[in-house]
Each structure stands twice: as C-alpha cells, then as structure tokens.
A = this chain, B = another copy of it.
Amino acid sequence: MEAKPMTDFSKLCIHTITTRPWPLDGAIRHYAAAGVAGISVWRQAIEGQDPVQAGRRIREAGMAVVSLVRGGFYPALGKKDRQKAIRENLRIIDEAAALGAPHIVLVCGAVPGQPLGESRKQIREGIQATLEHAAAAGVKLAIEPLHPMYADSRSAVNTLSQANDMAEAIDSPLVGVAVDVYHLWWDPQLEQQIRRCGRLGKILAFHICDWKSPTEDLLNDRGLMGEGCIPIRRIRGWVESTGFAGFNEVEIFSTSRWAGDQEHWLQEILRAYREAS
C-alpha cells in the first residue's frame, strides 16, 4: 500500500551533504527558514567545531538532530588497522552524544579483494567492540546496507536481509538498520525484509532520493525524488506500516546539484518532497 503524500515538513529531515556547499550554519539557517524539521549532520560539516555547540544551534533553530553520518569502515587487512577503526568509532560515538544525535549511520566498510564474508565478520566484531561505549553514551548504531555496486570498498553489507541478519546476530537494543531507498529499491525481498526489521523495532532511519536513468556516476549522481525510477511512496508505505514514525531523510549526493544555487536546490527539494516522496 502506498503511503499518503506528505503535506507538511514535520517529518522532513535533510542531510547536510545534500547541500554540501553550505557550511553547517548556512544549512541550519536555510533549512529552519524553510520549515524543515530535522537535520542529519555529516561529520565533515562539524569538523573543527564543538559538537555540543553545533547541536545546540540546531535545536535553538527549532530543528531536531536526527543522526550523525557516518561511522563504520571496520574491515581492514591488519588487526592494528581494525583496532584503529574501532577507536575512531568510539570517537564518533562521543561526537554523536555531544551533538545530541540519537544514532549514527554506519557505512560498514569493505576491503577490495578481502572475501566479503571475512569483512562481514570484521564488521560484526567492530560493532560489538563499541557497544558498551554506545550504551554509556546513549547512542544507537544503524547498519546501512549499501547498494551492491559499493561492495568492493564501501560495504560488505549489501541487502536489507544481510543487515537484518547482522542486527539479529548482534542482538542489542542499540543496533538497528537504516533503510535507504537508493541502495535497496531493486531487491525483490525488500518488502518482506522491511517487515522483518520493523517487527523487531529495528528501523532507526529512512533515507530517500531517486535513481536516475541514466546514472552517470556511481557516487555523486543521485536524483531528486521524482526524477528517477524508485517507487519511494510505496517503500515509505511499507516502512510506515511497521509503525515507523521517524523522519524521511533526504540524502542526495549530486555533483551537478552542488554546482548550482543551493537556495534554489532547497526549494526544489521541498517541492519534490511533497510531490514525489
């Protein structure tokens, strides 16, 4: 069943990377003025800043901090590098707590040439090694399955089924999944796997954008909702029917959009959010 169109922005969250040319304060100002309710903060956007202050500025502007993006990248060929990744993730958890973000989105990582099964084992161990710290900080971890075209170097977790398997295996109330339509729309098991993690209360985030035909670049040619072939409203219907009541997070990497006027781009996002999300 398709979800109903969104008529206001009370569930709209935008990832800072979507308007990448704007520094954090520009994003806060423009999003808030447009009535956007939430913001997901990419780490680059607060680099060199005090995350406590950044979080405060977001809340003072009337917005919610929805998530910190991104942790993960646990796999590595050597043990030292894996331990380094775990230490980095502990720092990211501190950053999320300081920012006031309830969860971190995990791009889990992969090492070209290392068997994917081995990378998945390292991902599980990496997450587990940070759980105590995450619990103390009150920060959840959202495993984001990435499109199979990123299996070489970005994530060995490439379907919602695999993310659910991993979240179940870790079996912690701190660990859930992020459902991103860009990565998952093609999967014939998607509806069933959304039901599965929904039943377990493990959907921590829902990300939207679109898949353009043709897509010119593997990384930075995502489409605005309505520009592509993803049945966003249908997928949102599946997610909401599990009881998920969180934000619809617009996360769009687009070299061509970043090159244009960002105020105009934000207006297009608002229009597309109502018309095609």
Interface set, chain A 141-164, CB cutoff 8 A to B: 147-149, 151-153, 158, 162
**A116 with B188: in contact, given A214-B153, A218-B215, A218-B218 (CB under 8 Å)?**
yes
**Residue on B with the closest CB to A117?**
B188
**A186 with B229: in contact, given A213-B153, A214-B153, A218-B215 (CB under 8 Å)?**
no
**Residue on B with the closest CB to A120?**
B188
Give CA–CA (A158, B218) in the complex, Å. 17
**Cβ-defined partner of A158 (8 Å) among B112, B151, B186:** B186
**Residue on B with the closest CB to A115?**
B231
Give CA–CA (A162, B216) in the complex, Å. 26
Give CA–CA (A73, B67) in the complex, Å. 41
In the assembled complex, A211 has its CB within 8 A of some CB on chain B: yes
Give CA–CA (A215, B231) in the complex, Å. 27
**Residue on B with the closest CB to A150?**
B186
Interface set, chain A 228-253, CB cutoff 8 A to B: 228-229, 231
Which residues of chain B are within 8 angstroms of A50 by Cβ–Cβ distance?
Answer: none
In the assembled complex, A78 has its CB within 8 A of some CB on chain B: no
In the assembled complex, A263 has its CB within 8 A of some CB on chain B: no
**Residue on B with the closest CB to A215?**
B218
**Cβ-defined partner of A213 (8 Å) among B152, B158, B162:** B152
In the assembled complex, A48 has its CB within 8 A of some CB on chain B: no
Determine whether the beta carbon of A112 is less than 8 Å from that of B213. yes
Give min CB distance, A11 to chain B, whole Å: 25
Determine whether the beta carbon of A151 is less than 8 Å from that of B112. no
**Residue on B with the closest CB to A221?**
B218
Which residues of chain B are within 8 angstroms of A229 by Cβ–Cβ distance?
Answer: 112-113, 152-153
Interface set, chain A 164-221, CB cutoff 8 A to B: 185-188, 211, 213-216, 218
**Cβ-defined partner of A162 (8 Å) among B112, B188, B231:** B188
- Identify 6 residue pairs between A and B in the complex whose beta-carbon atoms are under 8 Å apart, listed by A's number: A113-B229, A149-B149, A153-B229, A162-B188, A216-B218, A218-B218
Apart from A112-B213, A115-B231, A148-B148, what 10 extra A-B contacts exist at CB < 8 Å?
A112-B229, A149-B149, A149-B215, A149-B218, A152-B213, A152-B228, A153-B214, A215-B218, A216-B218, A218-B218
